[in-house]
Structure 1
């Protein structure tokens, strides 16, 4: 076995044992770019070897997606197939684990009418609302990972030929996910312990608000009184431990829906639905976006913010040190999973119920009453840099320097 195949095997096992934590006789559902079929087949093989009862695959083909947008009638985007909704919901009810492989072309839909893309996104989000809430409530294990496709790799490394770009992106993925280290699984366990220690500290302080400042950002975020910081691994309702993102460097919670004020500036491009949004600013008043600018992707950003009543509010605030495996590569990956784990970030839209005490057992109205935002969307965008400072304020007005110059300042 050559070195690449060895690392690919280690990466596959890491995803299934640490990420999904596949259980004996459990169903695994995988969504994958068709270009990553060779990697997906390896995952399927390892999943069965680890005890999976069955594996379902949904293939994503960027070329077919683009062909549909460029040629199909508008009516094709006004509905979402009931059989797909039923499939997702039935698998979730059966306790399946859900694995999503990300690797699409970041600019696939740059020449597509943004109104059509926005329509399709909204219809899909409405149709899959129950399924998405099932996952966000940690009823079943789920995980998002990355694998290279040619178009994505060439966007990240435009000076390299196709094959070399894919090779380099694989090399970066192995480094980012710690797969290249001697014992990846044990290394990940230590990493998750470190994240837990930090979440325990933040939860002990019960911060009332956070002040973010640096690189065009001057933003105050109030936190609900019963907020919970979480990060690294999580537990399903039946007690199965899983890690929703590989890689993950973040510790996150939810903001109080109407408690966000000030200005925030993006520090990395946002890849949203096959379009890039770059160098954008958002102005908040009482939680709501009241003004915004964007050097690139203004219309896409506008459609995102206008998705529904909750998409112009925030649903997540996440802390990620500038000194991290992804950030230290000094590369923009044009992929939210990687870029969000290289930078502190916020999210448009829906909040995670797990970020509130007993949130998984609350109704939608109870979550709203507790300060959580609801929406059809949840889209992360990056605001962190080497110049970002974050100060936390407790109920007693104690000031705690949480981040200094982009990194953790906690003792």
Structure 2
């Protein structure tokens, strides 16, 4: 076994989910990630925890979803598993990243609605979403298998304490602010209020790799237009050049140059899918290229991402409404050129460089 797999497993177990003796652990990943699953199980044994393994197979899920259509029920047996679990680990590692590309968006939306209680229960536990490098994801990223493996292992093995210190100033700036304005090029000029909400310093806990600072907007406060000029890969299909127009928090119009029907399926899932649940600022300089994998792409320095759909409850302050949806879809704006982030009218980032970075360089 590659020693980096063992190191990855140790980071997950000891840093991300802080596994303890007696913990009931659910490990969910495809067979392509069998080495990582084995390493996690070995560590669970060393720590005195109790693992259960679920094979997360996209081909099997595709077969079920296409056969069922849009008549789904909440899987109560799976819900019961997560109700009893203390911690949860899932890894992306599919061999064919386009496996579910021929599942109808309406089917996906119906499945997500039925699965929402399971998702909500799962997110209430200690959890970590990570990546195991496979040929399929390497091909999607336009990289050789060896180069992609190096990319993934480097990204997940940062000094997370040091990364957290770098991100902490942005956390403080957001927590002290009431209004955020994001401008980029001619297509993005968006304002939102974050007063009363909490910014989170992502240091590789629930996402591995980490490397972002994120919060939630006040639900009805988002106004303006945004052009997501970096594509996203969803349901095995690439969505390009997404443009959204917000009025009083709600997406009132949208377009995409490619696979707009997939985007439409997202917004048709439920009414809350038309509201923003997250604003995130990428700060991981070790992720220096776009790979069509949102787990990495949203963490890149010089980017901002926003997610339509559900908000993380820990980011929403008392008295503000938590946006609850069966969807959570991140989309990215490149902030490296002709772009600014303003907090209460003061520029805190220009063309990808934070003002506190400029001060430190002087």
Aligned CA RMSD, in angstroms, stands at 2.2
Residue 155, structure 1, aligned to residue 155, structure 2:
no
The CA distance in 1 between the partners of 2:291 and 2:260, in whole Å, is 20
Using the TM superposition, give the Cα deviation of residue 377 of structure 1 relative to its aligned residue in structure 2, in angstroms: 1.9
Q: 2:55: which partner in 1?
A: 59
Instruction: Decide whether the 8 Å contact of 2:101 with 2:235 is kept in 1.
Output: no
Cα deviation for residue 285 of structure 1 reads 1.1
**Structure 1 residue aligned with 2:202:** 232
Tell me, in whole angstroms, the C-alpha distance in 2 between the residues paired with 1:146 and 1:153. 12
How far apart are the structure 2 equivalents of 1:269 and 1:324?
20
Map of 2:108 onto structure 1: 117
Give the TM-score, by structure 2 length: 0.90
Give the match for residue 238 of structure 1. Answer: none
Alignment match, 1:337: 295
Is it true that 1:83 corresponds to 2:99 in the alignment? no
Aligned residues of 2:31 and 2:55 also touching (Cα < 8 A) = yes
Deviation at 1:114, TM superposition (A): 2.3
Corresponding residue of 1:403: 349
Could you tell me whether the CA contact under 8 Å between 2:190 and 2:226 is conserved in 1? no
1:27/1:311 Cα in 2 relative to 1: closer, same or farther (>3 Å)? same
Structure 2 contact 90–130 (Cα < 8 Å) conserved: yes
Q: 1:73 to 1:22 in 2, by over 3 A?
A: closer
- Using structure 1 for the length normalisation, give the TM-score: 0.80
- Does the 8 Å CA contact 2:227/2:243 hold for their aligned counterparts? yes
1:194 Cα deviation (Å)? 2.5
**Residue 342 of structure 2 aligns with which residue?**
391
For structure 1, list consecutive stretches of 5 or more residues without a partner in the other structure.
234-241, 360-365, 394-398
List alignment gaps of at least 5 residues for structure 2.
Answer: none
Q: What SS does the corresponding residue of 2:195 show, helix, strand or coil?
A: coil
Q: Deviation digits for residues 85-111 of structure 1, max 9, x if unmatched?
A: 1111222xxxx1111112334322222
Tell me the SS of whatever aligns to 1:373.
coil
How many Å apart are 1:73 and its aligned residue?
4.2
**Match of residue 251, structure 1, among 197, 213, 227:** 213
Q: Judge conservation of contact 1:107–1:276 (CA < 8 Å) in 2.
A: no
Which residue in 2 is equivalent to 1:196? 168
Q: CA offsets per residue over residues 352-404 of structure 1, 9 Å max, x none?
A: 221234x5xxxxxx5xxx244222222211123312310110xxxxx321111
**207-216 or 246-255, which deviates more:** 207-216
Residue 212 (structure 1) shift:
0.7
Q: How does 1:341-360 map to 2 (within 5 A)?
A: 341-342=299-300, 343-357=303-317, 359=318
